Amino acid sequence: MALGKHALAHLTGADFDCLNDPERLSKAFQRTVSHFNLDALYEPQIHQFTPQGLTGIILLAESHISIHTWPENGEAAVDVFTCGGRESRMIAEFFCTAIDNAHLDITVVER
């Protein structure tokens, strides 16, 4: 029996500004938590790199959502790990679309 599902998402072809805006990323975390009625343990933590790029995470009672962006390449790596029967793929799709409606590849691994 699996403990949870881990969605590994790769966003490509995204807009530079969308992947380099900490406020947009914070809102994406908040919208996702609200939409799926997830239990956030803390506020999203976001770090902005110089000259560009973001890393962000939100810890959930259900596990976590994290992102690492490379705006100069139009790419982002997103992890959504969920337990308790939550659908990690749907959460990853929603979160990524809240950032930019770019091309998205998702692989889900049972853990």
Annotated catalytic residues are 63, 68, 83
- Spatial separation of the C-alpha atoms in residues 61 and 48, rounded to whole Å: 25
Q: Which of 97, 99, 95, 81 is nearest to 21 (CA)?
A: 99
- Residues 6 or more apart in contact with residue 46 via CB below 8 angstroms: 22, 25, 26, 54, 55, 56
- Spatial separation of the C-alpha atoms in residues 16 and 107, rounded to whole Å: 24
Angle CA(99)–CA(93)–CA(26) in degrees, nearest 5? 35
DSSP, collapsed to helix, strand or coil, labels residue 53 as coil
